[in-house]
Amino acid sequence: MKKCIFALCLAVLTLLTACGEKSASRSVYAMDTVMNLTIYGGDDALLDKCEQALREIEQTLSRRIETSAVAALNRDGSVTDSVVAALLFEALNVSAATSDAFYPALAQLIDAWGFGTDHQRVPTDEELSQLLEAVKASAFSIEGDTVFLEGEADIDLGGIAKGYAGEVLRALLRKAGTESAVLDLGGDVAVLGSKTDGSDWRIAVKDPADGAQHLGVLSLSDAFVTTSGVYERFFEENGVRYHHILDRDTGKSAESGLVSVTFVCDNGVWADALSTACFVMGVEDSLALRTKYIGRGAELFEMIFVTDDGRVLYTEGLADSFAPSEEGIYSYEIVS
Amino acid sequence: MRSYPDARPRLADALVVIVVLALAASVALWQFSARTEAGALTVVVEIDTVEVDRFPISSQETHTYSHNGVTLTLAPYVGGAVTTSSLSSDLTQGVLVAESDCPTHDCVRTGAITRAGQSIVCLPGRIVVTLVGEQPDFDVIAG
C-alpha cells in the first residue's frame, strides 16, 4: 500500500510540475519608454529591486535629468562616476570599431531635430554644419572613474543605456538565483536562460513597415535582441521622412538603403550600440564587421537587415534560429 | 528456492491507475478549456500600469482615454480600414488609435494591432493598449 501512495504522490507531483513555474511581471515607465519584466520563479520583492535598478540607471545616465552624472559631465566638463566611465569606455570601443557610425556625443544634433518632441523640425544646412564642427572638435577622455569632456559637444548615452540596463538586470537576477526571465526594455529584448520547460524563448521581430506583422521569430536563450529602424521616431515634411538615426558625417538621417537592423548578441551594450551603428554603415560594412568579430571568437554576432527594396537579409548564424514569416511581403536571404 | 513477490495486479494498483488517469484527464481538460476561453481576443487598456478598461475585440464602439494631458481615441479595425459597419468573422479584426492629441503621434503611427501580445504605447499619456487572448506563437516582440 505504501508503494501505491508513493506512486500516487509522484504522479501528482509530475502533473503539477508540468503546469510550469510561477512568473511575476511588472510594467515600468523608465528611460523614455515602457518596459515589461517577466521573471519566472521570482516575486514582487525581486521586481522591486529590478525597478529600483532601472530608476538608478535613469537617474545616472539621462542627460535631461539635471542631477544626473551625464548632465553634470555636459555642464561641468568632467564627472566622477564609475557607471558613466565604464559605459563611455564601451561606447568609445564601439565607435572605434565602427568608424564612428555609433557616436555618443551627438546630443545637440538630436536636439536640433527634436525627434520625439513637439518641436520636430528640419535644421538648416548652416545650423547642421556648425553643430557638426562642434562635434568633431570635441574630445573626451577617461581616467579611472573620471570622465573629461572638452569642447562644445554634449554626451547622450541613449544609444546604449537600455542595453546597459538589460545587462544590469540580468546580473541582478542571476545573483538572486533566477534562471529564466524575459525583459522587454521598450522593444529591446533581453532573455535570461531559457524557458522553464528548457526550450528557447521565441522572440517575434517586428515588421518595420507594419506593426501588426512580424518578419519572423527568433528562437534563442541568453541573448539580447535590439532593433534600430526608421519607423521608431520620425516625422515627415514636404513628403520627406526624417528619422532619428543620425549620420555623424552629415548630421542628417542616415541613408544606407536600410529600413531596420536587428542585432542579436550576448552583450546588451554592444547589441544596443551596434544596431545603430550597423544601420548607419549599411549591409556590406556591417557584414565585414561581423566577419572580423567572428574571427576574434565572438559566439553570437548576428543581424537581420530589412532593405528599402523589400528584402530581409539575415546572417548565417541565424539560419537555424530564425524562422521567417510566411505572411510577409519580403524575400528572405541568408548572408555572411 | 528463491521466492518472488506476487506480480499479479491487485485492487490497489488498479485504483492508482484510475486516479492518475483521472488526474491527467482533469489537467488536460482544464488546460483545453482555458485555451478555448482565451480564444477570442480582448483589448486591455492600462494607464500608468493600472488596468482601466477591457473589452472584446469585436466591440463596435470607439473608446476615449485621457491621462497626463493626452487624449486618445481607440477605434475598431477591420481588413485595412477604420469601420463602423458590421464585422465579419473571416476578416482580420483589430484596434488602432484613430486620434490623439499627443505631440509625437507614435501611437497613431503604430497602426492596427491584430494579434495577441501586440500593443500600442502612448508614452506621453502613459497609456498602453494590449491584445490578450489566444496563446501567441511567441513570448515577446522585439523592435
Give the distance from residue A95's alpha carbon to the nearest chain B alpha carbon, in angstroms: 23
Model confidence pLDDT, tens digit, residues A132-179: 999 999 998 999 999 999 999 999 999 999 999 999 999 999 999 999
Nearest CB to A15: which of B12, B24, B48?
A: B24
Chain A residue with minimum CA distance to B131: A212
Laid out side by side, the sheet with A301-307 consists of: A23-30, A33-40, A180-185, A188-192, A223-229, A258-265, A301-307, A311-315, A331-335
Three-class DSSP category at A266 = coil
- A-chain residues near B16 (CB < 8 A): 4, 7-8, 11
Cell numbers representing residue B118 in the block? 501586440
Record: contact B27-A19, CB cut-off 8 A: yes
Cα A27 to Cα A36, A50, A63, A183, B121: the distances in Å are 4, 11, 23, 10, 12
Sign of CA dihedral A279, A282, A287, A292: negative
Give the distance from residue B1's alpha carbon to the nearest chain A alpha carbon, in angstroms: 26
**B interface residues, A as partner, C-beta within 8 Å:** 12-13, 15-16, 19-20, 23-24, 27, 46, 48-49, 94, 103-104, 106, 109-115, 117-118, 121, 123, 126, 128, 136-143
CA gap A134, A128 in Å, rounded: 10
CA gap A131, A142 in Å, rounded: 24
The pLDDT value given to residue A326: 86
- B-chain residues near A191 (CB < 8 A): 140
Lowest mean pLDDT, pick from A43-52, B17-26, B65-74, B101-110: B17-26
CA gap A227, A29 in Å, rounded: 19
- B-chain residues near A4 (CB < 8 A): 12-13, 15-16
Model confidence pLDDT, tens digit, residues B24-76: 666 554 544 444 444 689 999 999 999 999 999 988 899 999 999 999 999 99
- A-chain residues near B140 (CB < 8 A): 36, 182, 184, 189, 191, 201-204
Nearest CB to A15: which of B27, B128, B141?
A: B27
Q: What is the pTM of this model?
A: 0.82
Where are the extended beta strands (E) located within chain B? 42-47, 50-56, 63-67, 70-78, 81-82, 93-100, 119-122, 127-132, 140-142
What whole-number percentage of chain A has pLDDT above 70?
Answer: 94
Long-range contacts of B34-37 (CB under 8 A, 24+ apart): B35/B134, B35/B135
List CB contacts of B50: < 8 A, sequence separation 6 or more.
Answer: none
Instruction: State which amino acid sits at residue B51.
Output: E
Give the distance from residue B107's alpha carbon to the nearest chain A alpha carbon, in angstroms: 11
**pLDDT at B21 > cutoff 80:** no
Model confidence pLDDT, tens digit, residues A251-309: 999 999 999 999 999 999 999 999 999 999 999 999 999 999 998 888 899 999 999 99
DSSP alpha helices (H): ranges in chain A? 2-18, 44-61, 69-76, 82-97, 107-113, 125-137, 158-175, 268-281, 283-295
| Residues forming a β-bridge with A261 | A228, A305
The values of phi and psi at residue B12, to 5°, are -60, -40
Give the distance from residue B19's alpha carbon to the nearest chain A alpha carbon, in angstroms: 8
What value does the mean pLDDT of chain A take? 92
The pLDDT value given to residue A165: 97
Q: ipTM beyond 0.90?
A: no
What's the length of chain B?
A: 143
Beta B119-122 vs B127-132: how paired, if at all?
antiparallel
List CB contacts of A307: < 8 A, sequence separation 6 or more.
Answer: A257, A258, A259, A283, A313
Cell numbers representing residue A14 in the block? 509530475
- What is the pLDDT confidence band of residue A4, given thresholds at 50, 70 and 90? low
